[in-house]
Amino acid sequence: MRIDADRFLGDLHSLRGFGAAGVGKGVVRPAYSDADLAARRWLAEQMQDAGLRVEVDAMGNLFGLADGPSLLLGSHSDSQPEGGWLDGALGVIAALEVARAAQEAGGPAVSVVSFQDEEGRFGVTTGSAVWSGQLSQADADLLVDHAGVSLGDARHAVAEMVTGPVSPSQFTGFVELHIEQGPTLDSSGEKIGVVTDIVGIRDMKVTFEGQQNHAGTTPMHLRRDAFQAVSAFNALLNDRLRNVVTPQTVWTIGHLSLHPNASSIVPGRAVFSMQWRDADADRLARMEEIIRTSASEIAQAQGVALSYGPLLGLEPVSMDQRLRAALEAGAETVALGKWRKMPSGALHDATNVSRLMPVAMLFVPSIGGLSHTFEEDTDEDDLVAGVQVLAQAVAQLGSKT
């Protein structure tokens, strides 16, 4: 099987055109945005041109299906609010290229997927969570983005593309090529990472509700200031988590909105995101306990009310041995001595899909370790090496079945 590097890179740049940010190679293509829908329509055309049968489920997950049992390759084509051109897009276009190359080589059968809302406008890898049955469509529809829009309303935008449910039983396994989104491969000078495990993640909204009031006439000791509660919670949490985490554990407050958010008003309400990740499920649970205890103590001490949104999350997942071995063999052929086995600190759709079938992943380097920013990039040589490893692995898996 021979991949066409020019065709692959050309398509990757074409996909970048949908939602191009005008800043470097950055894209703005969040789930269900106009740019996301235009990209999905264009991808559907490419799938059709590649002889694949296009199907779209109610979430907007887009499949290009080969006949009969097949290996599923892919990732997602939605982006962060300010995203790079490769996060998700690389895995989708690589899948398309390998599907074409496999057809040209007379097999094996390869299907392609672009999942919806991997980047979590509404939750965490929402599209593959619904497809894999871990989140019901009814529950998903109640999820609300930071602007107050529900997923149930937002997905009307894909209604005209929907064909119906897509059965997972036709797929023999799932392989996802992705950028690393961290500094490991870039700093070691390696070209390929074969993933051993994907860390688990927890994410929930936390709300402190105090008393909105005038910032000039309300004495400090009478204030119930929601921002002060967040700040004190953050300090307490940082202090307590240091005792239970590993160097790989991370936790983040990335979203915060104060109400009414004016310089002359003591903030009456603060809503923020609390997210934490670790490869060990027990440690994730221990962290949750510390987060909830710390928030309660601060709420009590500062006289503010505390409430939580639903706890969204994904369990840590080990990669399938057979698929992983095929990727390792491909890496050894394409990048002899310049690849490594490594965990994934980022979560991926593969985490959800692992509930349905064997999954594996491979990484290419992220320059400077940067991702979820317009500056995200990877050398084109490394992009091509990634799709070559994927093709090698698919060919090897096909010859064995």
Residue numbers of the site for a copy of itself (CB under 8 A)? 80-82, 119-120, 146, 180-183, 199, 201, 203, 212-222, 225, 227-228, 230-232, 234-235, 238, 245, 247-258, 260-268, 273, 275, 277, 345-347, 369-373
Q: State the minimum distance, in angstroms, from the CB of residue 18 to a copy of itself.
A: 19
- For 111, the enclosing helix (H) or strand (E) is strand 110-115
Angle formed at CA 194 by CA 71 and CA 199, multiple of 5 degrees:
95
The residue (of 262 and 285) whose beta carbon lies closer to a copy of itself is 262
The span from the CA of 72 to the CA of 94, in Å, is 12
Residue type, 124: V
Q: Is 372 annotated as a binding residue?
A: yes
Contacts of 81 (CB under 8 A, 6+ apart): 28, 30
Q: Is 288 annotated as a binding residue?
A: no
Q: State the minimum distance, in angstroms, from the CB of residue 210 to a copy of itself.
A: 12
Q: State the minimum distance, in angstroms, from the CB of residue 336 to a copy of itself.
A: 26
Q: State the minimum distance, in angstroms, from the CB of residue 78 to a copy of itself.
A: 12
The residue (of 47 and 154) whose beta carbon lies closer to a copy of itself is 154
The residue (of 2 and 146) whose beta carbon lies closer to a copy of itself is 146
The residue (of 105 and 253) whose beta carbon lies closer to a copy of itself is 253
Tokens 């296009």 sit on residue: 54
Integer angstrom CA distances of residue 252 from 29, 273, 274: 23, 8, 6
Contacts of 6 (CB under 8 A, 6+ apart): none
The residue (of 50 and 271) whose beta carbon lies closer to a copy of itself is 271
The span from the CA of 201 to the CA of 177, in Å, is 20
Q: State the minimum distance, in angstroms, from the CB of residue 81 to a copy of itself.
A: 5
- For 208, the enclosing helix (H) or strand (E) is strand 200-209
Q: Is 76 annotated as a binding residue?
A: yes
The span from the CA of 172 to the CA of 73, in Å, is 11
From the annotation, which residues make up the binding site for Zn(2+)? 76, 87, 119, 178, 372
From the annotation, which residues make up the binding site? 76, 87, 119, 178, 372
